[in-house]
């Protein structure tokens, strides 16, 4: 066996001024060519693990460091990030901070030029990585004019351009639309299989990448809680860390089915074996509707937010919004979805008054509190307690971190802090608008945020959330709006938009082909139990694995 590419030898690390270690006695060896998925709740050490792997810990962040990390045989205590960068490409949660050149082409070329490649090799490398990531049309665009998802792909392209032996990725799909996210995971798997590039990927939406991984390393409070193959990880998560379960695994757990599947294909195959999914078109024969969901309310006389024929046209450039008509009533919760560059962020900026339409009107019933994609833009103080009122920090679950530097928080923690800042300052907003608010958040934090947004809408506040996460959209919103090319192309209930499709659909809906409008694992499990009961009552053969009554409760 070849020597390990990355070795953590009993590594313990604490950030400056923090007693509790971010990493505790971490001992891991990663072999060349492995595809490793790094799992764990927000603040449990995933980003710190990646920072230590590339030498940013301790060289950049400081703090107390014990143990040893070696990358390609180089001790990170003796070699800094610039030297280690020859072997490791890195993409962190905030791609905006990694873009330093004025154009996309120059950004991609920088990594190759800094390694001494000639002009021919640089031009070829830029073209190849641009084609692989679908950003060839952006090559001559200014990096300042890109959407959040486009910036993420460009930053990833810069990390991959030099074809490093190890690629370290921190939430790389968090700002990508479903198609781009799936394509990215496919690209990483292809690099891993064809070029033997070693991948270490930290991700909260495990359903996107679990089936592609060879190995899952789960961190609990900075320690390695599980280090196994995906199937064994799912069994561990069911018992030890339910918040890390994928929607498919949670669906099976609630329905009393085992083992948990690693992906949609495996789940559908298992359901067919249990007699709960028919072969014809792959559609389940499940009778009855899902649990009722709240519907749109159109009878309110005055809108909290209304766009009427809103256009946003760039001078000597394309139109970003094209005649958008959108009305959001007080107390409504709306998920705004669509591919990268569809116009979602621009719409929210118009809603908050940061941009004015070149044609059309925007009407607001009061203040629109807007949380943009990069939470770091809202952090201006040295201490967390200076950023927001104590009650807002407590509501965000950050009271215990009041003495921390905001920039030492995890991505999910920074996101919650930014939300506390925009919603907890000044008069209560009539509309709360959030642009990709779940970036860096684990499932538990997402569930709490969805519950908070439901509470706000129930209290009469309008909520509009731009998101690429169908699971979060289903949990927080009753209504879903789909945008494409600056236009609203679909507008209906969440059950209508997020079931029956493939990309803009929850994993539960994909597994059950949208049957009964079930979007969440709990709803899907109820339908499966009903199907099993109908099978028994009809005198058909019992499924191979009995579904336990009330397993979802």
User: What tens digit of pLDDT does each residue of 388-404 get?
Assistant: 988 889 888 899 899 88
- Residue 545's pLDDT is 43
Q: Does residue 126 register a pLDDT over 60?
A: yes
Task: Confirm if 35 and 61 have CB atoms less than 8 A apart.
Answer: no
> Mean of the per-residue pLDDT values for the chain?
88
User: What tens digit of pLDDT does each residue of 28-87 get?
Assistant: 999 999 999 999 998 899 999 999 999 999 999 999 999 999 999 999 999 988 899 889
Which pair of structure tokens corresponds to residue 332?
A: 């409504």
User: What tens digit of pLDDT does each residue of 358-397 get?
Assistant: 999 999 999 999 998 888 889 999 999 999 988 889 888 8
- Residue 412's pLDDT is 74
Q: Does residue 293 register a pLDDT over 90?
A: no
Proportion of the chain above pLDDT 70, given as a percent: 92
For the ranges 162-171, 221-230, 285-294, the lowest mean pLDDT is seen at 285-294
- Residue 151's pLDDT is 87
Q: Report the distance separating Cα 146 and Cα 336, nearest Å.
A: 19
User: What tens digit of pLDDT does each residue of 177-216 get?
Assistant: 888 888 888 888 988 998 899 999 999 999 999 999 999 9
Q: Is the pTM of this model over 0.75?
A: yes
What does the pLDDT average to over 324-329? 97
- Residue 544's pLDDT is 43
Which pair of structure tokens corresponds to residue 377?
A: 């833009």
User: What tens digit of pLDDT does each residue of 205-231 get?
Assistant: 999 999 999 999 999 999 999 999 999
Query: Which domains does the chain carry?
Result: 6-241 (3.40.50.300), 245-290+518-553 (no CATH), 305-367+427-497 (3.40.50.300)
- Residue 287's pLDDT is 46
Q: Does residue 548 register a pLDDT over 80?
A: no
- Residue 26's pLDDT is 98
What does the pLDDT average to over 486-508? 92
Name the band, by pLDDT with cuts 50, 70 and 90, for residue 490.
Answer: very high
What separation, in Å, do the N-terminal and C-terminal C-alpha atoms of the chain show? 48
Other beta carbons less than 10 A from residue 390's beta carbon: 11
Q: Does residue 292 register a pLDDT over 70?
A: no
Task: Confirm if 39 and 203 have CB atoms less than 8 A apart.
Answer: yes
- Residue 300's pLDDT is 53
Name the band, by pLDDT with cuts 50, 70 and 90, for residue 426.
Answer: low
Q: Report the distance separating Cα 428 and Cα 164, nearest Å.
A: 49
Q: Does residue 281 register a pLDDT over 80?
A: no
Of 230, 277, 237, residue with least CA distance to 253: 237
What does the pLDDT average to over 482-509? 93
Task: Confirm if 91 and 172 have CB atoms less than 8 A apart.
Answer: yes
Helix (H) / strand (E) containing 223: strand 223-228
Name the band, by pLDDT with cuts 50, 70 and 90, for residue 291.
Answer: very low
- Residue 279's pLDDT is 56
């Amino acid at each position: 066996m070849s020597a390990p590419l990355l070795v953590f030898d009993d590594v313990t690390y604490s950030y400056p001024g923090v007693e509790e270690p971010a990493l505790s006695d971490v001992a891991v060896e990663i072999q060349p060519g492995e595809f490793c998925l790094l799992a764990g709740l927000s603040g449990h050490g995933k980003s710190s693990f990646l920072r230590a792997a590339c030498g940013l810990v301790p060289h950049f962040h400081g703090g107390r460091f014990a143990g040893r990390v070696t990358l390609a045989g180089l001790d990170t205590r003796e070699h800094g990030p610039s030297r280690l960068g020859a072997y490791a490409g890195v993409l962190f949660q905030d791609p905006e901070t990694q873009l330093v050149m004025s154009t996309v082409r120059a950004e991609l070329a920088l990594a190759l030029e800094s390694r001494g490649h000639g002009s021919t090799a640089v031009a070829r490398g830029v073209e190849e990585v641009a084609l692989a990531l679908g950003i060839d049309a952006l090559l001559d665009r200014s990096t300042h004019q890109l959407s959040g998802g486009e910036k993420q792909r460009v930053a990833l392209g810069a990390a991959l351009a030099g074809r490093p032996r190890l690629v370290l990725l921190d939430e790389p799909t968090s700002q990508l639309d479903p198609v781009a996210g799936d394509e990215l995971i496919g690209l990483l798997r292809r690099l891993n299989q064809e070029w033997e590039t070693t991948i270490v990927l930290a991700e909260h939406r495990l359903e996107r990448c679990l089936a592609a991984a060879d190995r899952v390393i789960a961190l609990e409070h900075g320690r390695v809680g599980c280090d196994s193959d995906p199937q064994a990880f799912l069994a561990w998560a069911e018992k030890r860390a339910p918040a890390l379960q994928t929607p498919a695994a949670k669906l099976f757990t609630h329905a009393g089915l085992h083992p948990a599947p690693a992906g949609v294909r495996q789940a559908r195959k298992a359901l067919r074996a249990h007699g709960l999914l028919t072969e014809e078109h792959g559609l389940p024969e499940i009778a009855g509707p899902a649990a009722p969901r709240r519907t749109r309310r159109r009878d309110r006389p005055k809108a909290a937010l209304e766009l009427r024929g809103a256009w946003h046209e760039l001078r000597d450039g394309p139109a970003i919004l094209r005649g958008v008509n959108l009305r959001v009533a007080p107390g409504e919760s709306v998920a705004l979805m669509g591919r990268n560059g569809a116009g979602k962020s621009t719409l929210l900026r118009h809603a908050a008054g940061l941009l004015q339409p070149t044609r059309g009107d925007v009407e607001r019933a009061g203040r629109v509190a807007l949380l943009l994609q990069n939470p770091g833009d809202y952090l201006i103080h040295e201490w967390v307690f200076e950023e927001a009122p104590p009650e807002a920090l407590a509501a965000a679950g950050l009271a215990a971190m009041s003495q921390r530097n905001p920039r030492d928080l995890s991505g999910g923690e920074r996101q919650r802090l930014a939300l506390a800042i925009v919603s907890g300052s000044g008069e209560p907003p009539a509309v709360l608008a959030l642009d990709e608010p779940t970036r860096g958040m684990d499932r538990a934090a997402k569930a709490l945020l969805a519950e908070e947004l439901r509470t706000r809408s129930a209290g009469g506040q309008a909520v509009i959330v731009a998101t690429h996460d169908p699971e979060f959209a289903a949990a927080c919103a009753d209504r879903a709006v789909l945008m494409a090319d600056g236009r609203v192309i679909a507008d209906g209930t969440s059950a209508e938009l997020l079931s029956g499709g493939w990309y803009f659909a929850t994993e539960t809906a994909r597994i059950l082909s949208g049957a009964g409008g079930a979007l969440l694992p709990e709803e899907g499990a109820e339908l499966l139990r009903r199907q099993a009961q109908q099978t028994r009552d009809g005198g058909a053969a019992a499924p191979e694995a009995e579904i336990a009554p009330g397993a979802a409760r």
